[in-house]
Amino acid sequence: MRLRFLLVLLLSAARLLTAERPNILLILSDDMGYSDLGCFGSEIATPNLDALAANGLRFTQFYNGARCCPTRASLLTGLYPHQTGMGFMVREVDHPGYRGDLSRQAVTIAEVLRTAGYRTGMTGKWHVARSHSVEEGIGSWPVQRGFDSFYGTLRGFGSFYDPNTLCRQNTFITPENDPDYHPAQYYYTDAISDNAVAFLQQTAGAGRPFFLYVAYTAAHWPLQALDKDIAKYRGKYDAGYDATRRARIERLRRLGLMPPGWQPAPTIGRWDDVANPA
């Protein structure tokens, strides 16, 4: 099995070494709904992502591994999650496909691209390592799995203002003692973006292509938005869930991203019975 993966790695690297090597930026949004972007029918303002979609491709089918860790493991390796040891979450179950740790029998895209001369970086949420302490081992952390640089969190969730398991490379840090990043107001989503930009600035003019993996914690819980963003959408959803859903479906149809005859499943909630806290 390991020989097969090694062969795939070598063949992939050989192709990259003999072909034009594009820069690659991979952005992952956590637990986001299919229609949560403006370019997929949302009422939420996402102008920068909408601009990317306008000049690229929007897909009408999507498949995942049902949970966060398995999906990430597949994204990073191109394998089914059970082949990576991540059949469930980052906890061990007594079966080979459920070790809760990214297997050394699988290679990550960063490991492949680095052999082809790429500069590799990651910012954001990792969540494919069972160990969250140096004492337990760091072999499945990003720097050990192909990334030259890493700023982000090992766990799958946490405060947006003081993230748990926040690391720079292999060193645990906090927003207060981080030697390299001191914003006027710390907010994890912004920190992920700012450190991603810093990576790009460091690689500019280096003569090597880059692979940058930007994995946001948003929109995973806890739902902690900045005051300015809360104010921006105040009253936007007063009509309730069903009204928002109907409007999104109509926009998806106009965009050609949903077949005209497709009928969504009925909802079971009673929005009108929920008291408005305002």
Supply the residues annotated as catalytic. Answer: 68, 127
Task: Calculate Rg over the CA atoms of the chain.
Answer: 21
Token pair recorded at residue 122: 């990651």
Long-range contacts formed by 149-152: CB under 8 A, 24+ apart: 149/120, 149/121, 149/122, 149/199, 149/202, 150/121, 150/122, 150/123, 150/126, 151/122, 151/123, 151/181, 151/191, 151/192, 151/195, 152/122, 152/123, 152/124, 152/125, 152/126, 152/192, 152/195, 152/215
Closest CA to 127 of 95, 150, 97: 150
Residue 214: phi and psi, rounded to 5, are -115, 110
Taking the C-alpha atoms of residue 216 and residue 152, their distance in angstroms, rounded to an integer, is 9
Tokens 């005051």 map to which residue? 227
Report strand pairing: 119-125 vs 210-215: parallel
163 with 192: CB under 8 angstroms? Answer: no
74 with 80: CB under 8 angstroms? Answer: yes
Secondary structure (H, E, C), 4-21: HHHHHHHHHHHHHHHCCC
Q: How far is CA 216 from CA 127, 155, 165, in A?
A: 11, 12, 15
